Each structure stands twice: as C-alpha cells, then as structure tokens.
C-alpha cells in the first residue's frame, strides 16, 4: 500500500541573502512559515516544486519539507525544519558571557 | 555547431584533419601520443571533472607539442586553467556559447598573468608565464 | 611574518575581480547555480542553514594585529558582530549577503587575506602547528614551507576540480599539534644527517570513514617537496573515484590500492614531474625563511613581577598553569587565550574581543597572533614580566578563562545551529558540559581531557580523535549522541572506539559525567590522564559506567 501523503511546503534559501524562504499560495516567497502554502495533495506538491525550482534567479536548493497543519499555519514535523524556521538557538548566537 | 575559443575569442572550428579523441578516464600509463598527431581532443563530460587538466599536463610533459583541445562542458571560468594546463583551445557547443558569450571568455584571456605555479616552477631566469612544460 | 608580495596582492585583487564578475553572472543568469556553486565554494562561500557563510583562510593559523582588526571590522560591517574560529584555522562569518561578499573579499585583500580554496574540491587552506616558531620542542618553524605550499596550491590549474577536497597539514615538532595523521597529506619536518626533510604521510582523514594516514616516504629531501606533493595529487586526480563522493577522498584510494601500489605510482609520477621544477621554489623558500625570522625578544629583562604575581594571586596562577606553554626562550611564554568561556560558543569571538586581542598582540606579543585547531587564540611570544597585565586585560574582555586542555576546552563544530548538513546540534552540548563541570568544580582535578563534538558524521569537530568523542545523529527524528572513547589527536594518534548505544540530548551530559567520575575513581594517581587510564584498562569499566554493570544492552535509541 502506498503511504499516505504527508503535507508539505515548498522551501529554499533566497539567492541574494541566503535566508530561509517558503512559497505562498499566491507565488510569493515569504520568510514566515505561517504564510506558506500547505500542500496536501501529492500531485499538486510536485507541480509546485517544479514551478518553484524554475525560479533559480530567486531561490537556491528548493525542496519539499514535511509539515503538519497548526492553528497558525504549517508547523514543522522534524526538528531540522524547526531550526530553519527559528534560527540558531539563542545560546548559539554568541552573547559571549562576560568575564569568566 | 561547435565553437572554438582561443585567446582572441570565438571562431568556427577550422580543423578538418584527423582527431585523436581521449576520454577523461584515459589511463595515464597508456598516454603516449605520436608527435605528428594532428589534433588531440580531451573530453570534459562535466566541468566538475578535472581529470582533463592533468591529462593535458602529462601529454605536454611527455613531449606532445601538437594542437591540444579541451572539448565539452568547460566553462569560461576554467579557460585560464585549461590554457595553463597545456591546452591551446576549448571547444564548446552553441548553447553554452549563448549562455556564456565571448566577453566572459575573453575576461580570462590574460591567463599568463598572476600564475602562481609558473612562478614556482620557473628555472631561475626563465621567462615567467611561459606555457607549462615549455621550461623543460 | 610573511607579508603579501606585489604578486600576491595582484593575484588576490584579480581573483576578487573575477569573483565579483561571477556573482554578477549568477545574478544575470549566465551561470547556473550548479556552475556557480563550485566557483563560490572555491572562494569560501557556502550556503548554510539560515544564510550564506564566508570562510576566510588564516593560513597556518598566523595573523597580525592589523589583520585581526580587519576581521573585527568585517564582522561588524557585513555580519553580526562576531566570527567563528574553526579547527581548520579558518574564520567563518555566518551572515553575509551574496552581493556584499565581493566587498568583504576586497576588504580582506587590503590586509593580505583571502578566502581562496577554503572550500570546494581543491587543495584547502594549509594548516600548521599553532605554536610554530615559538615552541621549545620545535625542530624548525614549519611556516615558511606552509607558505610555499599555499603559493603552490593556490589557483593550481590542474587541481581546482579534484575528486574531492584535499587537506595538507605540517608540523615542525615531534609533538604533533597539527593532527598530521588525519589529513590527506601530513608532513613532519625532520632533520637527518644535517639535512632538512619531511616524513610524508598520506591518506588520513576523518568523516564517515575515519582513517589514520600511512607513511608514503619516510624522508623526503626538502628540495623535492613541491614536485612530490604535485605527484601525489596528480596521481589521485586521475585515480581517485568520481562515481561516489563518499569514496573519493585519497584515504579510500589508498585503502583500495594499498600503500605500496600508491607509492609506486607516486614515485613514477614524481620522476616525471621533478624536472619541471627548475629551482625557483627553492629561492622563494629561502626568502620565506627570512620573512618568518623570529622576533627580537627582550634580553635580560627581569621576570620578578611574574613570579611575585604568581605566588600572590591564585587566579593568575591557575591561568598560568593551564594556559601557558613553554617558549624556547625561558624568560618568555606562549600564551593560549581560551575562546571557551564556560557557556560560550566554542571558537566564537566578538568584534570587541578581536580588537582587544589585536591591541594586546601589539602591546605584549610582537604583533603575532595564532589561531589553533583547538579553536583558541595564541600569543606566541610574551615576556613573562608582561603576563600579569596581559592576564588582567584578557579577563576584562571575557578572555581570561583558565581551561586550556581541560574538559571545558571543547572543540565543537557549528552543528545544527548553523550547518545545513548537520544531523544534530553540537554547540549546546559543549555549553552544557562546560557549565556542568565548572559547577562541579572538578576541572583541575580531572586534568588534561579532550572532548570533541561533531554534529554529523562529517566529523568537522574531530570527534574521532577526542579522548571523549561525541557525534550528534538524528535517530528517528530525535537528536541522539554517540560516544567514542580513546581517540588521540597527537603524535600517538588513535581513532576512538564506539562503545555502545547513543544518548538523548538530555542524557548526554550526565553520561559524560559518569565517564569522568569513573575515571577519577579508577586512575592510579592524579598524574594518570583520562587517556592513559583508558589505554590501561580498556573500554569495559567505562562501558559499565555508561550503561550499568553487566552492560545489559539498553535498546539502542536508533
Ligand atoms: C558549516 C559548514 C560546514 C560544512 C558544510 C562542512 C562540510 C564538511 C564535510 C562534507 C566534511 C566531510 C568531508 C569528507 O569526508 O569527504 C567535512 C570534514 C571536515 N570539516 Fe567541515 N564543514 C563545515 C564546517 C566546518 C567547521 C566549522 C570546521 C572546523 C571547526 C570544519 C572542519 C572540518 C574538518 C576538520 C573535517 C574532517 C577532516 C577531513 O576528513 O577532511 N568544517 N566538513
Ligand atoms: S560535522 Fe557535520 S554538522 Fe558539524 S560542521 Fe561538519 S558538516 Fe556541519
């Protein structure tokens, strides 16, 4: 039996800034996951991936990332996507401890 | 139609004689070319496959002085490497030439300048920037 | 120290002009992303999890105050005010924008620095002993040769599209601080019958298949160095596997063909290439030796203030005991500045700290700074009389941590906080281990202990050669940490052994604590280090400490 399709979003990094971006339903790139189009149909997801991949002047490394629906839009299933959404853990951005 | 790139830019391929084609996986132990071979053409299946540069260098070291061509997926940014490794010219297809027009290749026609290795390999007093192997 | 010649300056300026054009061509569509990627990588520009990352070379780990200040300026102007020093003697900026990178490279070029070949399938930034030119145990300063190798490998026309990356490290001391056996080529400077030469080691590497290098030539005369290196890379360029990137490194070529077959090919190629080197490299090396001449150290200055401060101030004394290394001049010391304040990100420095280090290097250290593969900064030539003031100034900048070589002096790769390849985080694990052992107050009692953490099997954090290695993995969508024991990065190099199932993120610090408590209970005397104790007893007692008596197999978190 084929596995049921799990929802996805199209994501990439922006060519100019490198920042994490997501594709919206109206074909914009957004930095906010909550605005991303949640793709629940496999064929539609493949199509959106192909369309987004063609936008090579805007995005690099386009792929489908697994998500689940949440009250505030798509929510990451895997911790890697959670990090991509949130940025480095605050302690990993060096607010160097003063003194020692 | 293929396009030939040299230091003076794009030109149609003028070669009509026999060609000795070498694949990038050619065994270096078997790499011996008669000096009177008209044209040796080393294939680049992908620009990321850098074996052709070493094959060219070995051919030159082994005494081949005839015309040497890099053919296939070579990008403009590799033109200087190709020339320094011993190639005389690069053969590309029309699609690549359209995407990377002549100016982008001419940008690296100054391949003799800023050549670290020629400087380190020189025989004291040798002319800097001479093609590799020419100092032998 | 070496300063760029006109040749270097012109080369780097020209290279930056090319990269500026390549960026423009990527933006206008002349270059596809597939074609642009190797070009940006050849210039040190990665695309990471959250942004681009620019990796700048600090060849053989040496830089001067002006260069360090420029790194601070770059961090402030184009990044977010900090940089990350790595195990490969590079600095990484984590937040540059594509269109700013050509300007950043120009700013670097002005002070004789570049990002050339810090990435990509080329010969990478050459690394060396961070105590070079100062260490009491050194045969000769390896940096002139390292600089020669930098010049030879930079922009080498044959070697820009190799099967995979290629790393060279060199040490001038029998006490190997450059991890030479974990590099594609490791060079050990030797003297034999009054002649300088090298032991050439080939085929080491970490990553998913860690291997220690093997000796391919036990004594290579100095004059033959470049043609011999060229022969190795030339042979591998044609012989190395290109069908599978995980099998492309020379360690696999060595493994598949054996050292004898590889040696025969290399020696044959060497015979062929040798005549092409006409001797100019020898003249350049002779000039480089003058460039790296040791600084004029103060003579006859009293060290009494040092002894007095050491006797009077326990904090200063603790710092001296852990952070100083013997200088070849007895009245001087090598100062190792820890970038491992407890709870801070290993290897990170803020722009203010970089500036402070630059000032201090000028005031007390003959304008010489080093970056160690252990992600710390070194001031290699400090008169002992200056140490109390230096220590006070460092402390004021949060740089006075006394923990070099201790359990909190952890190597950690960026892991999933930054790295696109990561399978788990490494930084928070390092932070928690450091703060935990600080709280326990056990660091001095534990003594020398190297913990090294990688966030995936690529092993950028050197976990294979950590006394305790920690590898972060993704097991079914959960961060899981695997422990290896008994690794050694030094001249007695060894790869750590995996001793059991991994630990969840909240279990890894207690697991390390159990290991260390077991060691403290098992050692014969305080002078027996963790590594020595492990070598004497083997893994069993440590397994028991981790998993309980009888090692009853816990279900693997995998
Ligand atoms: C953040 C971006 C980074 C990426 C994408 C990256 C990628 C990689 C990869 C793919 C490998 C495995 C190579 C192989 O086995 O063929 C590797 C190895 C290595 N990297 Fe990194 N790395 C990164 C950061 C770092 C940092 C920050 C350091 C230093 C702290 C570092 C130092 C090393 C070392 C020492 C090795 C192992 C030695 C070897 O076998 O080559 N890397 N890296
Ligand atoms: S070990 Fe893995 S996670 Fe860490 S920096 Fe290297 S590639 Fe990234």
- Parallel, antiparallel, or unpaired for β B19-22 and B39-44? parallel
Distances (CA, A) of C404 to B92, C317, C377, C380, C486: 56, 14, 11, 15, 19
The whole-number pLDDT of residue A88 equals 85
Q: Where in chain C is the domain with CATH 3.90.480.20?
A: 6-109, 305-396
CA dist., res. A41 & res. A50, Å (int):
14
Domain map of chain B by residue range? Answer: 2-111
**ipTM value for the complex:** 0.90
In terms of CA atoms, which chain C residue is nearest residue B79? C157
Q: If you measure from the C-alpha of residue C215 to the centroid of ligand 1, how many angstroms do you get, rounded to a whole number? A: 24
Q: Which fold does the domain C142-291 belong to in CATH? A: Sulfite Reductase Hemoprotein; domain 1 (3.30.413)
Distance from CA of C524 to the nearest CA of B (A): 55
Q: Is C508 exposed, middle or buried, given 0-12, 13-18 or 19+ CB atoms closer than 10 A?
A: buried
The whole-number pLDDT of residue B55 equals 97
Angle at B12 between CA B7 and CA B14, to 5 degrees: 95
Under a CB-based contact definition with an 8 Å cutoff, are residues A96 and C348 in contact?
yes
Do B and A count as touching (3 or more CB pairs closer than 8 A)? no
CA dist., res. C127 & res. C140, Å (int):
16
Q: Do C49 and A83 touch (CB under 8 A)?
A: yes
Q: Which residues contact C242 (CB under 8 A, 6 or more apart)?
A: B49, B51, C163, C248
Q: Which residue of B104, B120, B124 is in closest CB contact with C151?
A: B120
Residue C460's SS3 state is coil
**Is the Cβ of C122 closer than 8 Å to some Cβ of chain B?**
no
Nearest in space to B49 (alpha carbons), one of B22, B25, B21, B80: B25
Read off the tokens for C509.
């610090």
Q: Do C395 and A99 touch (CB under 8 A)?
A: yes
**Is the Cβ of A6 closer than 8 Å to some Cβ of chain C?**
no
Q: Mention the CATH class of domain C411-547.
A: alpha beta
**Is the Cβ of B112 closer than 8 Å to some Cβ of chain C?**
no
- Residues C271-293: b if buried by 16+ CB within 10 A, e if exposed: ebbeebbbebbbebbeebbeebe
Q: Is the CB of C46 under 6 A from ligand 1?
A: yes
Q: Is the CB of C413 under 6 A from ligand 2?
A: yes
Residues in chain A within 8 Å Cβ distance of C428: 89, 91-92
In terms of CA atoms, which chain B residue is nearest residue C160? B50
CATH 3.40.50.620 correct for C305-396: no
Mutation target for C interface from A90, A92, A98: give the one with most C CBs within 10 A.
Answer: A92
Tell me the pLDDT tens digit for each residue of B67-105. 999 999 999 999 999 999 999 999 999 999 999 999 999
Tell me the pLDDT tens digit for each residue of A42-70. 999 999 999 999 999 999 999 999 999 99
Chains that touch B (3 or more CB pairs under 8 A): C
CATH for the stretch C6-109: 3.90.480.20
Chunked in runs of 10, what are the mean pLDDT values of chain C (558 residues)? Answer: 84 92 92 91 93 94 96 96 91 95 96 90 92 93 94 94 96 94 96 94 94 97 96 98 95 97 98 93 93 93 97 97 96 97 94 97 97 94 98 97 97 95 96 97 95 96 96 96 96 93 97 97 97 97 90 47
Q: If you measure from the C-alpha of residue C23 to the centroid of ligand 2, how many angstroms do you get, rounded to a whole number? A: 26
Q: Is the CB of C455 under 6 A from ligand 2?
A: yes
Task: State yes or no: pLDDT of B128 exceeds 60.
Answer: no
Reduce the secondary structure of C466-480 to three states and give it as a string. CCEEEEEEEECCEEE
Q: How many CB atoms lie within 10 A of CB C536?
A: 11
CA dist., res. C197 & res. B136, Å (int):
25
For chain B, what is the mean pLDDT? 87
Tokens 């930034």 -> residue: C125
Nearest in space to C122 (alpha carbons), one of C184, C175, C61: C184
Q: Which residue of C47, C99, C431 is in closest CB contact with A61?
A: C47
Full DSSP string of C304-371: HHHHHHHHH-HHHHHHHHHHEEEBSSTTEEEEEEPS--TTSPTTEEEHHHHHHHHHHHHHHSTT-EEE
Read off the tokens for C79.
């990044």
């Amino acid at each position: 039996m084929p596995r049921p399709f799990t929802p996805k979003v199209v994501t990439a990094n922006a060519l100019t800034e490198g920042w994490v971006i997501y594709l919206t339903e109206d074909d914009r790139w957004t930095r906010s996951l909550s605005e991303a189009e949640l793709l629940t149909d496999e064929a539609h997801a493949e199509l959106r991936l192909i369309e987004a991949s063609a936008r090579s002047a805007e995005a690099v490394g386009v792929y489908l990332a697994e998500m689940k629906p949440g009250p505030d839009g798509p929510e990451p299933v895997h911790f890697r996507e959670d990090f991509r959404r949130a940025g480095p853990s605050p302690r990993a951005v060096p607010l160097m401890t003063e003194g020692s | 139609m293929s396009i030939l790139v040299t230091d003076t830019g794009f030109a149609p391929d003028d070669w009509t004689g026999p060609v000795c084609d070498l694949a990038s996986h050619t065994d270096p132990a078997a790499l011996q070319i008669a000096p009177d071979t008209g044209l040796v053409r080393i294939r680049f299946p992908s620009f990321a496959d850098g074996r052709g540069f070493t094959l060219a260098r070995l051919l030159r070291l082994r005494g081949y002085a005839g015309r040497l061509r890099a053919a296939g997926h070579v990008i403009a940014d590799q033109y200087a490497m190709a020339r320094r490794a011993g190639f005389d010219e690069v053969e590309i297809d029309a699609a690549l030439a359209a995407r990377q027009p002549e100016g982008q290749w001419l940008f690296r026609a100054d391949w003799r300048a800023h050549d670290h290795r020629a400087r380190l390999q020189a025989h004291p007093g040798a002319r800097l920037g001479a093609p590799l192997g020419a100092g032998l | 120290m070496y300063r760029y010649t006109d040749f270097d300056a012109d080369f780097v300026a020209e290279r930056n002009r090319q990269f500026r054009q390549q960026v423009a061509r990527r933006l206008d569509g002349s270059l596809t992303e597939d074609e642009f990627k190797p070009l940006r990588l050849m210039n040190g520009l990665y695309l990471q999890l959250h942004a681009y990352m620019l990796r700048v070379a600090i060849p053989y780990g040496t830089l001067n105050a002006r260069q360090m200040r420029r790194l601070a300026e770059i961090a402030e102007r184009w990044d977010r005010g900090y940089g990350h020093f790595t195990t490969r003697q590079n600095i990484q900026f984590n937040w540059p924008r594509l269109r700013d990178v050509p300007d950043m490279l120009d700013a670097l070029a002005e002070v004789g620095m570049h990002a050339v070949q810090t990435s990509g399938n080329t010969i990478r930034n050459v690394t060396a002993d961070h105590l070079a030119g100062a260490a009491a145990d050194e045969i000769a300063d390896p940096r002139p040769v390292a600089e020669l190798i930098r010049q030879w490998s930079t922009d080498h026309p044959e070697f820009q599209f190799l099967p995979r990356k290629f790393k060279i490290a060199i040490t001038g001391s029998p006490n190997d601080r450059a991890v030479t056996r974990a590099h594609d080529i490791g060079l050990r400077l030797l003297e034999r019958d009054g002649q300088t030469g090298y032991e050439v080691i080939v085929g080491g590497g970490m990553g998913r298949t860690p291997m220690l290098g093997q000796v391919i030539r036990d004594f290579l005369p100095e004059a033959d160095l470049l043609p011999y290196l060229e022969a190795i890379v030339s042979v591998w360029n044609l012989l190395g596997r290109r069908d599978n990137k995980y099998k492309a490194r020379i360690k696999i070529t060595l493994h598949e063909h054996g050292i004898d077959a590889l040696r025969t090919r290399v020696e044959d190629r060497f015979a062929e290439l040798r005549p092409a080197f006409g001797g100019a490299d020898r003249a350049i090396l002779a000039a480089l030796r003058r460039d790296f001449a040791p600084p004029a150290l103060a003579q006859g200055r009293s060290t009494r203030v040092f002894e007095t401060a050491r006797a009077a101030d326990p904090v200063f004394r603790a710092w001296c005991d852990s952070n100083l290394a013997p200088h070849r001049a007895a009245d001087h010391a090598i100062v190792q500045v820890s970038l491992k304040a407890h709870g801070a990100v290993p290897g990170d420095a803020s722009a203010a700290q970089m500036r402070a280090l630059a000032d201090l290097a000028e005031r007390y250290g003959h304008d010489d700074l080093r970056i160690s593969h252990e992600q710390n900064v070194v001031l290699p030539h400090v008169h002992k009389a200056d140490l109390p003031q230096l220590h006070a100034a460092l402390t004021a900048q949060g740089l006075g941590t006394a923990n070099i070589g201790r359990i909190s002096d952890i190597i950690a790769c960026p892991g999933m906080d930054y790295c696109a390849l990561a399978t788990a985080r490494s930084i928070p694990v390092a932070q928690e281990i450091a703060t935990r052992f600080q709280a326990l107050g056990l660091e001095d009692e534990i003594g020398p202990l190297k913990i090294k953490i990688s966030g995936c099997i690529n092993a950028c954090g050197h976990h294979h050669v950590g006394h305790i290695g920690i590898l972060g993995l993704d097991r079914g969508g959960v961060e899981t940490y695997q422990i290896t024991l008994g690794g050694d990065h030094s001249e007695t190099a060894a790869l750590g052994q995996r001793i059991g199932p991994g630990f969840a993120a909240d279990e890894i610090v207690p697991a390390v604590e159990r290991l260390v408590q077991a060691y403290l209970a098992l050692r014969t005397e305080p002078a027996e280090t963790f590594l020595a104790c492990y070598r004497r007893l083997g893994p069993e007692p440590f397994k028991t400490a981790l998993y309980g008596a009888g090692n009853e197999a816990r279900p693997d978190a995998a």
